[in-house]
Amino acid sequence: MQFVIPVGIVVGIGLLSGVILTVAAKFMAVAVDETAARITEALPGANCGACGYAGCADYAGVLAADHSVAANLCTPGGNAVALAISEILGVEFEGAQAKVAIVKCSGTREKTSYSMDYQGYKNCTANKLFYRGRGTCEKACLGFGDCVKVCDYGAIYIENGIAVVDRKKCVGCGACAKVCPNLLIEIVPDNMRVVVGCSSIDKGSVTKDICSIGCIACKLCEKSCKFDAIHVENNHAIIDYTKCTNCTLCAKVCPTKVIHVHPKKPKVKAQ
């Protein structure tokens, strides 16, 4: 009979723990917001932060609590997710504006050159921090691919020393734009096809010497634009995408051909 006490003690402790846990789970249950849970399920779950909130669950919580928050902020999810959220919340569906990243540098290895044989940490941030970039142009793409590392969609890659966006894969989450130490990446509506591929802040004559494609701030585009959508600021052209109409006139007059035009995207209808 000497086994009664040990067995009794272990069973007793187990039983006690079980009862305490059950009671605690009952009394301290946290009411889960059903709406928020359903929205979280509808969201892609990439936690990219493109909506401006800390993650998918956070955005869902805000949506469930406050119906005045726009339901179409999730760019990776696009129309389908915006529609699903609108249905859950019972608000009117507004089409989601798909977005895409653009890289504002075209300085490939043939167009511009390195000013050093860099041997340090192989990432853009370190290179920028220690040497202000390894190229002759201070605002050139550093080409170590910090943006490639953070992209969850495999939509950006380094080709010939500069970052290139694959418009078919890019969902416009903006993760790359946040890590680029030269601030070369911008998120724009994906129907915008005209891109100024330069962010140079040097004077036109200097840019001409160090990069054969760089913007020389000649202002021909500014004069040609009928919609007041392109302006030269800080020695490079900047497009105001709220005014741009994709007429591509600026690209035609640009002497260095730094204004690129992307091919039209095949139209996809919202379900």
Partner 1 sequence: MTELAIIMMGAVLTNNFVLVKFLGICPFLGVSKKLDSAVGMSLAVIFVMVLATAVTYPIYMGLLARYGIEYLQTIVFILVIAALVQLVEIAMKKHLPALHKGLGVYLPLITTNCAVLGVCILNIDESYTFIQSLVNAFGAGLGFLLAMVMFSGVRQRIENNDYPISFKGVPSILVAASIMSLSFMGFAGVIDGIFGL
Q: Using CB under 8 A, list all residues that contact partner 1.
A: 5-6, 9-10, 13-14, 17-18, 20-21, 24-25, 28-30, 121-123, 126
Q: Which lies closer to partner 1 via its Cβ, residue 21 or residue 270?
A: 21
Q: How far is the CB of 123 from partner 1 (least distance, A)?
A: 7
Q: Which lies closer to partner 1 via its Cβ, residue 17 or residue 234?
A: 17
User: Among candidates 236, 147, 242, 240, which has minimal Cα distance to 199?
Assistant: 236
Q: How far is the CB of 14 from partner 1 (least distance, A)?
A: 6
Q: How far is the CB of 16 from partner 1 (least distance, A)?
A: 8
Reading the block at residue 226, the tokens are 């009928």
Q: Which lies closer to partner 1 via its Cβ, residue 54 or residue 261?
A: 54
Q: Is 200 within 8 Å of 236 (Cβ atoms)?
A: yes
Residue 43 and residue 252: Cα distance in Å, rounded?
41
Q: How far is the CB of 126 from partner 1 (least distance, A)?
A: 7
Question: How far lies 194's CA from each of 14, 18, 212, in Å?
Answer: 69, 65, 20
Q: How far is the CB of 122 from partner 1 (least distance, A)?
A: 7
Q: How far is the CB of 25 from partner 1 (least distance, A)?
A: 6
Q: Which lies closer to partner 1 via its Cβ, residue 134 or residue 139?
A: 134
Q: Which lies closer to partner 1 via its Cβ, residue 10 or residue 116?
A: 10
Q: How far is the CB of 213 from partner 1 (least distance, A)?
A: 31
Residue 120 and residue 68: Cα distance in Å, rounded?
49
DSSP strand pairing (194-196 vs 99-103): unpaired
Q: Which lies closer to partner 1 via its Cβ, residue 9 or residue 183?
A: 9
User: Among candidates 155, 215, 147, which has minimal Cα distance to 181?
Assistant: 147
